[in-house]
Amino acid sequence: MRVPGAGNWVGAPSEGPPRSGRPSQLAFKPTHKEFPIMSTWKNTYFFAKGRKFPEFEGKTKDELKSLLGGKGYGLYLMTCELDLNCPVVLNLPTFHANRLENGRIPASLVKEIHEGLREMEKVSGKKFGDPSNPLLVSARSGAKFSMPGMMDTILNIGLNDAIVEKLAVGDAARFWLDSYRRLLQMFGDVVLQIEDEHGEDPFEETLDHFKKEKNAANDLELGPGELRELIARYKAVYDKYGHAFPQDPEEQVVRSAEAVFRSWGNERAVFTRRLEGISDDLGTAVNIQQMVFGNKNPRCGTGVFFTRDKSSGIKHADHLEGTVLFQAQGEDVVAGIRNSLPLEALRDHEDPAFHAIYEEMKSTADRLEKVLKNMQDTEFTIEEINGQPILFWLQIRDGKRSATAESVIAAALHEEGIITKEQAVMMVNPERFEELLFPQIEDKARKAATLITKGSAASPGAAAGHVVFTQDDALELAGRGEPVILVTVMTSQEDVKGMKASRGILTSTGTKVSHAAIMATAWGIPAVVGASEISIDKAKGEFTANGHTIKRGDLITITGTTGEVFLGTVPTTVPKELNPSAQKILDWAGEIKAMDVRANAEAAETQPAYDKGARGIGLFRTEHMFLGDRLPFIQEVLFGKDPAKAEAALQKIFEFSKKDFKHSLEVMDGHGVTIRLLDAPLHEFFPHDTDMHQEENPMLGHRSVRMALTNPEIPRTQIRAVLEAALELKLAGKNPRPEIEIPLVIIPREATELLKVATSVATELHAEKGQWVDYAFGIMVETPAAALQGKAMVEALRARLSGVPAEAHPKYGFASFGTNDLTQTTLAISRDDADRFLPFYVDEKFFERHPFISMHPAVERLVRLFVDEARAVDPHFEIFICGEHGGDPYTIERLHLCGLSGISMSPGKVYRSILKAAQSNVKFPRK
């Protein structure tokens, strides 16, 4: 088994063979970076009511979550700041996860754990190993960033044969036996990692067979005698695989903590971190918390409570959002083993004591949001103590939510006076904003469709695909490009790869707080859960519901917005506009951001880009104008032998270019439209039957500014089309802002020569029309040569040419980074060939990020050098980026820090870019 040790994987002694779902092929190499301010921190923290931690004063939420983990931070708040009824906790901070010694906790930390347990005994009045009044604990993971279900938990630690034999009598027998069999199963699974020859969990198989043998629909139907028999069978599993369950409670604690630390390196946790961009170096904390019991009797229970609806974002006036499961432990709720009840089961309970618990939840929800300024996801347990049900809070954290709910919650919290506009904008994840335009099923299509069944709407959006029943089938079909819907009784953390590969998820059990619902919501995958009318037969590869039999490979459509499941593929539509809350967030972001946000767009894309919030075009690629039936015209100019035909072709180019430019300038009236002159390599225009010489390296060959200088009639025609289109709009009372851009410049003289062409065309147009037209003139910075000559480039763009009227010169100069080519020329990596090795470079941490998605530090250094030199010449010189890096959230923040004037990206990324630009200015305000 791999465990995080000295920077590689080493085996933990007596741990047994590797378990499926444990680390195998994924690279995980902790680098042992020191915790940022580790010298000021302790090795353990004990949280209980009334405890104070002066060392936390002045520390940010981010710093404390880095230290204590997200769960640990919430436990600290509940016990020490909010004074909630929370069981005491011993927190082992995150930095220990990457400091195990061959998978084991070092002796010095073991000693401190024992000291913490003594403190826990003192506060709780219970004692480890005491058969009359035993202290039992749980060991739970808790990294800085929430990854529900991806790491391990062990409950009921501290039980042993002697304690159970003493306490499992009378009415209490079932509770103690049930708690012990759970511990035996979790410890064998998580700590010892026992698996059968097929890589399956033998405890789960034993339980399934046992329930069938006893005709028990669920665990609750097993009585004391049956539970004793089940415990004996579990011990037989231990014997079969050469293990013994430790009877020393404190040994159980230490070994459980070690297992939870090691689970930071399990395959599903590593996989999730790769998906969500979470660093391996952060580690997980371990929280050793006194147990409270929801499985003691029918007047006990456990559940999950959201302060607002995680799908819609609405705070309901008539009910609370969440579920409760009586006579159960927390793992049962998430697993969906039994369908939970809505929280109104507490309000409507026959015992008024539960009504009081419901009201306490309502008031606590309001208090949590006012203090923590976010929607909260809480876990709770109700335990009957001396005949009275008592509410215990086990966890609070910022709740995961759908993209729709993100905007609704952020806008509502601002309007309720809880947060500022800036805080509201910071609450919305830019990378999920496009999910607001997920496909939906319209009423007309819904009425015509065949409804199979209905479940709980768990994660919004509609999806159609082929039915699969296993993770392997999902990965296989999705790998062939087929859309799939994963249909299963319930999902677990072992299914995350199959879930991620699916277009949608359908489960027959579970609720909105089950594993499937939580992960689907986090990943933006439509999901329907708890569709109890469907019966799944994996052996036959089919499910049935309401007279329908659906086989593996059949097409179905689900909508996680309403919970409906339809036969076949149902037509969907994409919403044409944002919901009102999302539009408010976007409007506030527009007010806050410091950088302009433009779009990379040609004529047909200009209006959609404007509708999405782009104000200006950062890159109009003129080479895209020469596709289809327009291609022969540029071929005639470049390769034709007849001057008359070439002249006629240039006239055609002028006419359709002016038409396209005019459309984009008109749509973006008052905003800059950067029109890049012909950029593509010469070979892209070759006739198919040509025998012309092929360049060895066309991307660095006769293209861009070089083609413009050797074929001056082409840039002259394009510039004339730009200026004449702008002039016509000016005469019509519009405010066009054309910006002419020269690609792949490497020396200032190239820009100067084409500036002469531009001023000549402007002068000619004035002579013909009697009007001057304003325009800007700039360069595209795509090579290190250009980036290293910022001063000279700006001086060339600001120059006044001798003998040329002042009005013919551009109104201002500008530069725009083409970071796609700048990355290629800086790193000597071809973007077209990079996928052969770049995934390896990223996985093995040669690169922290994919350099064609997020800006590489070497490229950023060149950007900064150019900006510094350019602004030293002209403090107001406008500098943009138009590569696809401009739509990457990480890069946007870096560009904001570099001082760029604006960013441009594909229209589909405009929403996220506006948001991230605003967030960057909130985080790092420009003076």
Structure tokens at 835: 């996928």
CA 504 – CA 523 distance, rounded (Å)? 11
Alpha-carbon separation of residue 881 from 703, 782, 887 (angstroms): 21, 10, 10
What sign does the dihedral 21-24-27-31 (CA atoms) show? positive
Q: Is 693 left (phi over 0), alpha (psi -120 to 50) or beta?
A: beta
Nearest to 498 by CA among 277, 310, 268: 268
| Phi, psi torsion values for 524, nearest 5 degrees | 70, 35
Are the C-beta atoms of residues 781 and 816 closer than 8 Å to each other? yes
Number of neighbours of residue 273 by Cβ within 10 angstroms: 20
AA identity, residue 169? V
- Residue 188 DSSP label: I
Number of neighbours of residue 608 by Cβ within 10 angstroms: 15
780 Cβ partners below 8 Å, 6+ apart?
Answer: 676, 741, 742, 743, 744, 745, 815, 816, 817, 818, 882
CA 524 – CA 500 distance, rounded (Å)? 10
CA 658 – CA 662 distance, rounded (Å)? 6
DSSP assignment string, 809-849: S-SEEEEEE-HHHHHHHHHT--TTTGGGTHHHHHHTTSSSS
What sign does the dihedral 685-691-693-697 (CA atoms) show? positive
Catalytic residue IDs: 515, 882
Number of neighbours of residue 847 by Cβ within 10 angstroms: 16
DSSP assignment string, 708-733: HHHSTHHHHHHHHHHHHHHHHHHHTT
Which run of H or of E encompasses 73? helix 61-76
